[in-house]
Amino acid sequence: MGVAEPFPDSAGAPQGRVMDRDGVDRALSRLDAEHEAVETSLLALQDHAGRRLLEGAELSGTTEERWAAAERSIALLWSCFDAYAAALARIRELRARRRWPSREDLAELTERLQGRSVTVAAPPAAHPGSGGAPARLAEAFTLEELVSRMNDLYAASLDTIITADAVWSALPARIDLLAAELRRTRSLAHSAGVRPGEHPAGDELDSLTRELADLRAQVLTDPLRFWQAAHGSSAPGGGRPDTRRYDRAARDLEDVRREIEAVLQVRQDAEERLLRLRDVLSRADRTLAEARTARGEVLAKIASCEVPAVGGPPTALQERLALAADHRRHSRWHRLSPLLESLEREAEDELHRARESLGAVTAPLAVRAELRGRLDAYRAKAARQGLAEDPVLAGWYDTARRMLWSAPCDLRAAEQAVLRYQDAVAGAGAPGGGFRAEDRGGNG
């Protein structure tokens, strides 16, 4: 085959080396393969589902701007491809003239294959200039530059189409499922009496309804707004749909659903809880009544003793319990739930206070009972030691007993009398001891 030689440019100066026949044939074969690949990609882009959706959608915002740019790019891409195909057809025609091309043929083929021999007109939408610069109506390319240009246009257009299609494939269906769950939750809320303006969960459901409607409308008209591009990725469609607003709405709906289920649980348990509350308050009332009775007994039977006052019945709690029963009768579950929780705490506190009050009031009677028991125990001990008939011990016993069984009882004096008798019996029973009346002064 011939050796490649320089060919002159338009001014007659050497610009490159002339390709030989084999080089021309190899270049044509490569360009044919690129032509087929570009054509296949363009047809796939033309039939892409995302492209058809974008063409038929009412767009706004970022998606409207990028799709307008993508449409211009696709139009220019077809212009480039048509120019590329026409240039390739002319080269094939020139090569087919002779099996063994002349030097002039090879020079022309080299110029068409390697030189800027392809002119592409800019699409009409791209004609207006910016910043006062004149618009470029056409641009010359080498075939290699034109393939690179088509690759860039294709990647940019495909990125817009793929990302919009990915968002539309991911988000609207999920939003619709969440909206269906929202409708079921609203139905539950209505049955539980949870309504907007009356309960925070009702207001939250209204807010979520507006949020999902707004989110769906924005996803349908501006899907590229909901796309997170992958960092460091230049491939078309690199990234994932931005689901943060959807995820937040799903979490909020789950919280509201749990709150409504808690209200519904109140509906199921309300009667049992009201019965328990009535029982607790009844026990508190009975305990306070017992404390008041005991206080009168203490004041009558115990002298020189401060007895704490006893409060009245828990009237306020009884009124709130009646209100809770009214909420239950009228199915106001959202109001009944917090009221029952507070009533349960306060009723238990009231019962605890009533028991403490009874304990404080009856403390002097308990002390008297303990002293009586101790006196009888030491009398039995004296009898076991053979001291039951001792006149001094018997006198001290009788004195303590009169004090403890008299009304009103002076607890301080009675306690001293019991201690005197207790010490005497304990001393008489000690080893080597032995009670003698004269040791105590013989006092009765």
Kindly state the average pLDDT of the residues 220-235: 84
pLDDT value at position 144? 85
- Number of neighbours of residue 134 by Cβ within 10 angstroms: 6
How do beta strands 409-410 and 302-303 pair?
A: parallel
7 — pLDDT class (breaks 50, 70, 90): very low
Question: Do the bridges between strand 118-121 and strand 14-17 make them parallel or antiparallel, or are there none, so unpaired?
Answer: unpaired
Could you tell me the pTM of the whole model? 0.58
Q: Three-state SS across 352-368?
A: HHHHHHHHHHHHHHHHH
Q: What counts of helices (H) and strands (E) characterise the chain?
A: 11, 8
- Cα dihedral 214/216/218/221 (nearest 10): -140
pLDDT of residue 47: 86
Give CA–CA dist 169/164, Å, rounded: 9
d(CA 327, CA 341): 14
Residue pLDDT, tens place only, 103-160 = 776 777 777 787 787 888 766 654 444 444 455 677 888 888 888 888 899 988 999 9
- Contacts (Cβ under 8 Å, ≥6 apart) of 74: 45, 153, 157
Containing 129, the helix (H) or strand (E) segment is: none
> Which amino acid is it at 342?
S
Residue-wise pLDDT tens digits, 378-388: 888 888 888 87
C-alpha angle 402-403-409 in degrees, rounded to nearest 5: 135
Inter-residue contact 92 to 84 (CB < 8 Å):
no
Query: Exposure of 260 by Cβ count < 10 A (0-12 exposed, 13-18 middle, 19+ buried)?
Result: buried
SS3 102: coil
Q: Structural domain boundaries of the chain?
A: 6-167, 169-264, 290-440
The confidence score (pLDDT) of residue 366 equals: 86
CA dihedral over 382, 385, 388, 390, signed as positive or negative: negative
Residue 51 C-beta-side C-alpha neighbours within 13 Å: 14
Do 99 and 141 touch, CB atoms closer than 8 A?
no
pLDDT recorded at residue 183: 94
- From residue 385, alpha-carbon distances to 130, 364, 396, 429, 439 in Å are 126, 32, 17, 7, 18
pLDDT at 67: 93
HEC secondary structure over 138-150: EEEECHHHHHHHH
**Which tens digit of pLDDT belongs to each residue from 69-112?**
999 999 889 988 888 888 888 888 777 777 787 677 677 777 77
3-state class (DSSP) for residue 292: helix
Which amino acid is located at 344 in the chain? E
pLDDT of residue 291: 87
Rounded to 5, what percent of the chain is helix, strand, coil? 70, 5, 20
Separation between Cα atoms, residue 16 and residue 6, nearest integer Å: 5
Q: Are 120 and 114 in contact (CB under 8 A)?
A: no
Cβ neighbours around 135 below 10 Å, total: 10
Task: Please give the residue that has the higher pLDDT: either 429 or 161.
Answer: 161
CB 124: neighbour CB atoms within 10 A?
A: 9
With CA atoms as reference, report the closest residue to 355 among 279, 305, 289, 278: 289
